[in-house]
Structure 1
């Protein structure tokens, strides 16, 4: 309820008579996670590490997700990957249960401790009582850290990407769209994909070079960090235009039948992924891994948005079909408002819109 009221107060504070760019600046100021809140994560990290080391003395917690990406908002929790020494051979499922028990043994430090074992990656969620901050712990998603810093690097390519991402994240939050299997990372990938279509961002594969590879679980998670010096885009669109065109692009996208790939900056028919021989050569590592039973095949839900470096991992793998249909309706409504309302009214219009079920 607190977050919901905060969202409403932010929307009501947007001055309709002001220019769109000024409204965006105000929105970013209101929803961006403040520095003092970021600093509190150090206390959360210290207490969590100390408790987990009761069982695993050499464990290390590494942050990933929106906070290290630089995309944290007032709603964000912080995600940590728990690195355990090689001699720990228990399954990820058992590690989550063990971590859950450790945190539950310290009610003076943590509450709301829960496990989500049926997620694509099993997770522990909890609240740190001293800071009142929430956190997630995972134990077996090593590539998540690499993808976090890939997104952070991509943000440096163009100054317009950050405000569009924050607006879309906030829009999805206040309309309760980032639930039921729809992740913030999926929204980040959708915005990235549109910016690729607008010739602002390159395909992720362009950041990988043959002589520099780093394999985790047989996925190449390496990328070159000098590419932005070579990449020029002449797209003159403003943040307002890019935001509206983002919604317009996806309002017409055939989610039912197509997969979105930020790795190749292309979309593919889902039926292609049902026959490995038809999968494009640009996704040869995916073909190899699935063919040799190294990884499972991509799950082809209503919304199918593979991770940029781990191509068999759908960022929407747990989404409910009914919720996917709701998301599409909201996107279509935001696209229609882009055509119907003026620039200075657009931000408040999409943030206060509603859609009939």
Structure 2
């Protein structure tokens, strides 16, 4: 994306007209146009032509915001390259070989480098024709399956899609999402979970009933698409304000956000396998399964030592909020409170203008909190819970202390 296309510069928005007219202006300002989306096919075609010569029969599958409908002008592209089953891992990782392949076409692919130490190794590059950055992996189709689920949820009603986009844009402006911060995927799950509390969206567990299983790794990623949803009576304005109100008062200390069952679930239940609820039978099976070849467990327990815990709807041992450290958690909670206050004190036609501005000048000055200890999976889980409670208590006290100072 060109540097002069800074969508975080809200001064270019007029905020004229009523709420719905302002939403349309914002969508035109930040979303990819139909032509831009269609142009992205060039990227997939170039990747396929480059890789198919080396790995005949491969498929290039896009996922992430471009697939879910959440793509904005700054969005990068995510791809999974599916190789035929007869290909065995080479002596060097696939991403290393992919990097060398792409380097042979430096007029198309630039700034190429491979990351082999990540949980899912990727090769990153800049695609010259589309002016887009792209991440490619060969290891996991999970992102594709997650994107299909989110896309289905967001396309049920335009209000849901616009709600998710507005919250994504708000979080980007306030520097809450991005590298080493909360992921957009995690934030979108929070949107879905909030709508589940309003009985607008079903639980993933309900969607997996009476449908053939589709396993990716150890996890069932199948879901059925239903068409018997009731009409959403609330306006987009009400849903947006309700989102901030809900997470302003959410008990992060006690509960984790669980789109799978569609309701908050106590963290302490996951401290021991025997107390894990029956709905998570697959989690318990995976946790107890030991690989006979490596004599180690195939599945590690979900991390519970983070301030915000968002469980993946398919991979139940994955906490999607592991990157939310104490300082970031403090910032997120502050902005939930601030956004809720704006919603309460302004009218419908002034809400977006007040919401979509940076709050840096209004942010309370507080001492830098201590960085939480990173779990090494050796410490006892009750110690993790104790640390969590102390940290969340610190965040809450810090926020209200700052608020009292401003009001005083």
TM-score of the pair, normalised by structure 2? 0.80
Write the distance in 1 (CA, Å) between the matches of 2:57 and 2:302: 34
Write the distance in 2 (CA, Å) between the matches of 1:25 and 1:92: 51
Shift of 1:92: 12
Write the distance in 2 (CA, Å) between the matches of 1:312 and 1:10: 39
Write the distance in 2 (CA, Å) between the matches of 1:278 and 1:272: 5
Q: How does 1:154-233 map to 2 (within 5 A)?
A: 154-179=153-178, 180-225=180-225, 227-229=226-228, 231-232=229-230
Shift of 1:263: 0.8
Structure possessing the higher relative contact order (Cα contacts under 8 Å, 6 or more residues apart): 1
Shift of 1:93: 8.6
Shift of 1:140: 1.7
More displaced stretch, 32-41 vs 107-116: 107-116
Residue 297, structure 1, aligned to residue 294, structure 2:
no
Shift of 1:187: 1.3
- Tell whether the 8 Å contact from 1:10 to 1:27 is kept in structure 2 after alignment: no
Write the distance in 2 (CA, Å) between the matches of 1:289 and 1:101: 37
- Tell whether the 8 Å contact from 2:211 to 2:223 is kept in structure 1 after alignment: no
Shift of 1:32: 1.5
Q: Which has the larger radius of gyration?
A: 2
Write the distance in 1 (CA, Å) between the matches of 2:166 and 2:92: 35
Q: Could you say if the C-alpha distance between residues 228 and 266 of structure 1 is closer, same or farther in structure 2, counting changes exceeding 3 Å?
A: same
2:35 match: secondary structure: helix
2:246 to 238, 245, 249: 249
Write the distance in 1 (CA, Å) between the matches of 2:281 and 2:52: 40
Write the distance in 1 (CA, Å) between the matches of 2:169 and 2:302: 28
Write the distance in 2 (CA, Å) between the matches of 1:148 and 1:93: 29
Write the distance in 2 (CA, Å) between the matches of 1:161 and 1:344: 20
Q: Could you say if the C-alpha distance between residues 240 and 309 of structure 1 is closer, same or farther in structure 2, counting changes exceeding 3 Å?
A: same
- Tell whether the 8 Å contact from 2:258 to 2:264 is kept in structure 1 after alignment: yes
Deviation track 1:6-33 (CA, whole Å, cap 9, x = no partner) reads: 32444532325x2111111111122111
Deviation track 1:23-49 (CA, whole Å, cap 9, x = no partner) reads: 111111221111121122121112222
Write the distance in 1 (CA, Å) between the matches of 2:308 and 2:22: 31
Deviation track 1:266-293 (CA, whole Å, cap 9, x = no partner) reads: 1223232221111111111111111213
Write the distance in 2 (CA, Å) between the matches of 1:312 and 1:92: 30
More displaced stretch, 37-46 vs 207-216: 207-216
Q: Could you say if the C-alpha distance between residues 186 and 8 of structure 1 is closer, same or farther in structure 2, counting changes exceeding 3 Å?
A: closer
TM-score of the pair, normalised by structure 1? 0.91
More displaced stretch, 250-259 vs 192-201: 250-259
2:133 match: secondary structure: strand
More displaced stretch, 211-220 vs 145-154: 211-220
Aligned to 2:129: 130
2:80 match: secondary structure: strand
- Tell whether the 8 Å contact from 1:120 to 1:318 is kept in structure 2 after alignment: no
Write the distance in 2 (CA, Å) between the matches of 1:348 and 1:4: 22
Count of aligned positions = 353
Q: Could you say if the C-alpha distance between residues 104 and 269 of structure 1 is closer, same or farther in structure 2, counting changes exceeding 3 Å?
A: farther
Q: What 5-or-longer segments of structure 2 have no aligned partner?
A: 290-296, 366-408
Q: How does 1:263-302 map to 2 (within 5 A)?
A: 263-292=260-289, 293-300=297-304, 301-302=306-307
- Tell whether the 8 Å contact from 2:7 to 2:73 is kept in structure 1 after alignment: no
1:261 to 258, 262, 269: 258
More displaced stretch, 211-220 vs 116-125: 116-125
Q: Could you say if the C-alpha distance between residues 5 and 33 of structure 1 is closer, same or farther in structure 2, counting changes exceeding 3 Å?
A: closer
